Amino acid sequence: MTDFVAPDSGSEPELIDPEDFPNWIVEEDEGILAINKPGLVVCHPSKKGPWSSLVGASREYLQQDLVHLVHRLDRETSGICILAKDKFHARHSQMAFQQQLVQKEYLAVLEGELNEPIELKNYLAKDLESEVYIKQTVRKSNSAKRAVTHFEPLLSRSGYTLAKVLPKTGRKHQIRVHAKYLGHSIVGDKIYGPDDRHYLTFIDSGYTPKMAEALGFHRQALHAYRIHFNAPLFKRSFTAPLTQDLVQLIQTKMDCGKEEIRALID
């Protein structure tokens, strides 16, 4: 699969096309805006203006000065992201997270063939051996936090695995760290893939042909597929279909048609 795209500086967020933004909306009502965030879109506002972040674009779309980001996704992770339009919905949805009354379901394309479900339970902390400041690893320390992740293979074929991933805790980079620990890194992961120096190159120079050859995908192949809130005053579920780039990746790497993909994840 040739997926090289002209490099932008990795530290600069891509601008959102105002005409595209409404197509990202999964659900909208008087209190909630549910977005299927594409990969490479940042959640938090940046210095490049309102159309450089999900929050900024949402403010412009709603014509509101304040929009509450209920939870965030990593820049390169696509999928469901919830924003609240007012303090009431923000408070009750965020309280659901605090009270651990939220279940998340992700889809990931993994390197290698994982053939059996597995659940990891261990501790994550900063990787002291890496040049990448934000990198985490499995180890115990005074600052380590317990992390639990369940991996369920949906299809293993041609040296790759399409997996359903259920994080039961919410630690930084948890799914990506655990995937690497399993020996099945997420395809395209610049930090937890074959060489974390790809991330440093990306920050400096953007996505390069050499990186495309090594990683096989322009971003980490991780998608927040479904989120379910089960709080007393906020019982809602939201689902975000796989983004087109991930569908194409699965079709190409795993020789899997759209109907087969749909049947696997539904």
What residues act catalytically? Answer: 74
C-alpha to C-alpha distance for 200 and 197, rounded to whole angstroms = 5
Q: Are 53 and 42 in contact (CB under 8 A)?
A: yes
> Amino acid letter at 168?
K
Tokens (6 digits) for 215: 């990683």
Question: How far is residue 4 CA from its own chain's centroid?
Answer: 20
In 10 A of CB 140, how many CB atoms?
11
CA distances in angstroms from 200 to 63, 118, 206, listed in the order given: 37, 31, 9
Rounded to 5 degrees, φ, ψ at 157 are -160, 140
